[in-house]
Structure 1
Amino acid sequence: MSASILFFPASMPDETLQSRISRYHMLSGNRSENETFRDIFDTAPFAMKIIPNRIDDLASRLPGDKELNLNELLLSNTILPVYKPFLGISKGNDELRDESIISAVARIPRREVSAHSMAKICLSCVQDDLIETGHSYWHRAHHIPGVTACWRHGEVLLQACPKCSHPFYRSNKLLPSLAAQCVCGWSPLSSHLPETGLELEQNFALFAKELLDRNLPAVKSEVLAAFYTRQAKKMGFTHGQFMSRAKLFESIQSTFGPKWLAKIDNAYAAGKHNQWIRTTTVNGLLDMPITRHLIMAYHLFQTVDSFEKKLATESLLFSCKKGLQTQPKAPSLSKRKLHRQKVTQLIEARPGLSLDYLWANAYQATLWLIANDKPWLTEILANGPVTKAKTEQPADRRDEAYAKVIAERVEELYIFSQKQIRVNITNMIALLPSRVPPSPADRKILFPRVAQQLEIHHESSWHFHLRRAIWALSEMSRLKLPPNTSSLQLLTSVPIQAWSALINHFEWDLEKLMSTGVNPESLLATTNVSRQWKGPPGHHGPMGGRSYIAIKSGKAGAPDYF
């Protein structure tokens, strides 16, 4: 491990850690970025996202106590403080109001850490910083997820050179000096007419900036869910006695506009509006990304003062309620009901049993019933338990018409395109003009023909992988791309394991396919597999998505999604 760092530039107001490291590189006189990474992290260059993986190595090299240094870096040079109120509290710290900052870092989902760019600038801030502090640097507040404009100047934040589109952030590279010119000659300090963002964008950015500066403590996910629900109901987003997610979602859409929501939320942009607002928890966290938390917090509370005050009140109410709760007693069954239940279960399991059998196998129940409920015991031994007749519910009158809709339109879902979707129950039901029961059992009773069509046309995950792989091959041929995994990842999200398994199973000659061209429908027909195909032999493990969530380990760790 290398020696302590002799100097490290003091932080500018609201400066990112990546910006401080870039200034260290310039001031140290290091000839290469590799030398700077070795100085600070004792490792080769790596991608620095929201919170660098080896930030503790930097803390140990700075003068003073490592833990204090780490806390200062996290609170002053990262956007962790804006995450804290939404991260929940780990099970081991349920009674603490403000647990350790390291625990908060561990609960930031890995996908969240890598999902946002850490290189955005406001041109006016670049010029003002140079005048006010003598240095132009990268601001934390500009990198809060969902923020698209400067809170101070209202300008749209840039992530790339406006002249040649060269990106500011490059993986495994330090951030460029804001005093330097781009490869095309453009300079952030040169005269340039900035683009002004919407007033809503600036107000949202100001709310996020104040929340970042406030550094609020973490609260339990149950408190946060109740907090959102209470405020939404106060604002009229109700359905009976419950919060109406649909009404709240419509209000958010109306306020922010679909264009801006699609810009900052990938799920919204992809049309995944169902369950966009969620108050369920996954591994102790509310199952929403930070951007959506900020949107809801701003929409429901408008100011950070209101957000903080009402969150503190909700935490107090939760604590009082928890303190007043007593251990609920298990509901006690009466002796008559308990003994009758025992005998009924035995008779259902062994019809025609005798009183002698009850004496031998349910002595206490039989003794009590003989003494206190003999008429009932005599009757049930003679006639057996009374079963409730099941009434058959007639099928819905729309069943035949809806089944016809699915049969006629399902082929639309199997068309090869860039945005192919799996032909599953949800997507087939979406073809219908109105909803059908979500429960399979209810669907079979009320919509038997629809249920039959859903079963006939349901596509297996492997058939979906196959369709996407074939489309990718056709695009590689059309675009003259090499048929390898790099081209695959450029075109589609087919898991590499599935890609390899499909090529090996069908023994495709990729070079020949690339030279002769690929007709997706024809190639799919040559595979001779059904739409319910279970995949190549020996390949039945999970290929991605959330399949791994059910696998529990002995160590508590952060979830892979927010």
Structure 2
Amino acid sequence: NDEKAYQYAVFAHDLLKQNLSPISPALLFSIYKKQARQLGFSRGKGIAAEELQNAVIDHYGEAFIKDTDTAYASARRKNWLRLTSYQSALDTPITRHILLGLFLFESVERFTQQILKEEVQLKLETRSRHQETNSAFRDTKLSSHQREHHRKKVLNLKQRRPTATIQEIWKQAFKSMSWLYDNDRVWLQKYGLQPKSITTHKTVSPSIDDELLAAQVDDFAKNYFSNDSGKPHRLTVGRLLECLGKKLCPSSDYRKRFPLTFDRIDYHTESPWHFRARRILWAIGELQSFGESISTSNIEMISGVNFHWINDIVDYCEWNYASLARQSINIPSFLLRSGIPHNWPGPRRPDSRMNGGRRHISQAKIEPKSYLDFILNSETSKPHS
């Protein structure tokens, strides 16, 4: 008994350490069933449950099982080792799960390996059934009535206009030709209505002006923020294209002809968060010149930046309004010193939903007003030691 108890304790301990995700009753029963059949407990396509139960009892001994399982100790032994499901779980206490798992697999490693293997197999089977269902559904849609309707419409058109080209028939009966092309191409080929698809690969060579235009983009972007006087304007793709003096657009063909140019345009395009930060600092300078107090509401009114975005940026950069009011700010260099490059993606908020649980999810729906509010809320919610 001591040896059995030790094996039982080790198996339970190792199983808890695995921290397994919830396993469906169907998956767990499938694992038990396959392993039991491999050990010889088979009856037809199922398992010999009574023989398996007797083998488990013989293996551990009644004395050990009585000490481990209260139901067995109180003589409730009919269908003791049952593998039926009840309310989305196998109708078997955890003690019997451990006894059965140890008996069938001997170690947690073998048990978890079989779980992973079965999960992969189940996903493949589910995907296959899903594809078969979709295929059957599509086949059902291809009813003979639809097929005959579209065939008849195209044939009538062909009889009325025997000299019509395939393109003209497509134009006159586009819906029917599209349906037949998707679902009945053999018939289209039989009547010579199957269009010949000729794949043409258009080779686009880079333009000889690509390097020159890329250099122009670099030069323009280098001085843009210093020369952007007055109320700031965002450095967009459109403004970078305008500086070239050449009509370009960010389509795939132009990107192939001017790969270096568009690479530099993508790099120099100002992020929305960097633009908001510039607007905030500009608004602070305007408030200084008007002799007005520097506050979030005043900055919002002058800059046009949302109140919450202002708080997010100010909290992230740890700016102090009183300190900013006493200095003359060179916006580009000040932003770089604050850790905000031109492509800054913005302050990153921790996502409380990652903590899991319904309570965390419901609380995460309440958006904190700013990054600072989020930190303060997190600190106040911590248990005090």
TM-score where L is the length of structure 1: 0.29
| Between structures 1 and 2, the one with greater helix share | 2
Larger radius of gyration: 2
